[in-house]
Amino acid sequence: MKKIKTCVFPVAGLGSRFLPATKSIPKEMLVVVDKPLIQYAVEEAKAAGIERFIFVTSQGKSAIEDHFDSVPVLEETLRRRGKNAELMQLEELRLQPGQAVYIRQQSPLGLGHAVLCARHLVNEDAFALILADDLVLSEKPCLRQMIEAYENNDGNMVGVMEVPLEHTNRYGVLDIEKHDGQKIRAKNVVEKPDPLKSPSNVAIIGRYILNQKIFDYLQNQKPGAGGEIQLTDGIQAMLKDVSLCGYRYQGQRFDCGTKEGWLEANLAFAYADPELRENLHKTFQKYPFLSSKSSKICA
């Protein structure tokens, strides 16, 4: 199997749940502890061996491009002041010339349409896709787990997790054919099913390895849920030609597209940092009114 070298990052969303903050700041630039969400996504892709990064943006998202560019004035100032650790952080963050491509989704027509915008930039048989809103805390990065497990007969592979049945109307959900270790072979996939009619509670999160043929199906896909071109519908249409495999990754996923998930991610990632853990404990002792859910993270 050829190496998966390209990852697409759909970052054109409006981030309306985080208004007014996202009026001037892309939601992908919201910070968890000390890094913006999009940086976590790019670092995860790098750890999986990705060499080419395609960002599907929209108007007002230039901060993402700037974040991965060089900043000569800042870098020279750090160099003069002997702040070598900070300078090294910036150097590791920078994407090299030719590695990053930025294209625009000019109309908000859905995730499937955002992926379709990258059609003429993907040349491999399969490529990766990361949704920066979905942040995964794990020992081995989620996408790396998937790429290491991926085989040609897996077709399209999606990261999956079990969710409460009443929440299935928030996700694409697998109709399971059989379990195969950490892999789940699916016979169908349904976008945001009614909990009473959902085929399972195994839901797709924002990690994908997609066969290049997905572009042909998205090109002809009619609008689905919300009047948008849904990626899940394109994957479903492909099942007659390309199989679908869910992968049970190891790690904890946080939905940073919601305020609750973003706050929980900040607590969890802060607690995972030995330098911040002790301060978190002190904070919870100082403010006993903090929620029990947050306290459990630091238990």
- Which CATH code of 3.30.70.260, 3.90.1640.30, 3.40.50.2300, 3.90.550.10 fits the domain covering 6-253? 3.90.550.10
Helices 142-149 and 37-47, axial angle in degrees (round to 10): 30
Per-residue confidence at 289, pLDDT binned at 50, 70, 90? Answer: low
Burial of 156: CB neighbours in 10 Å, binned 0-12, 13-18, 19+: buried
Domain with CATH 3.90.550.10 in the chain: 6-253
pLDDT one-digit tens code per residue, 113-157: 999 999 999 989 999 999 999 999 999 999 999 999 999 788 999
Distance CA 261, CA 256 (A): 5
Average pLDDT over residues 52-72: 91
pLDDT one-digit tens code per residue, 219-269: 988 777 667 888 988 999 999 999 999 999 999 999 999 999 999 999 999
Q: Are 121 and 222 spatial neighbours (Cβ–Cβ below 8 Å)?
A: no
Q: Are 64 and 38 spatial neighbours (Cβ–Cβ below 8 Å)?
A: yes
- In percent, how much of the chain has pLDDT > 70? 95
- What lies within 8 Å, CB to CB, of 275 at 6+ separation is none
Among 88-97, 118-127, 278-287, the least confident range:
278-287
Among 133-142, 202-211, 273-282, the least confident range:
273-282
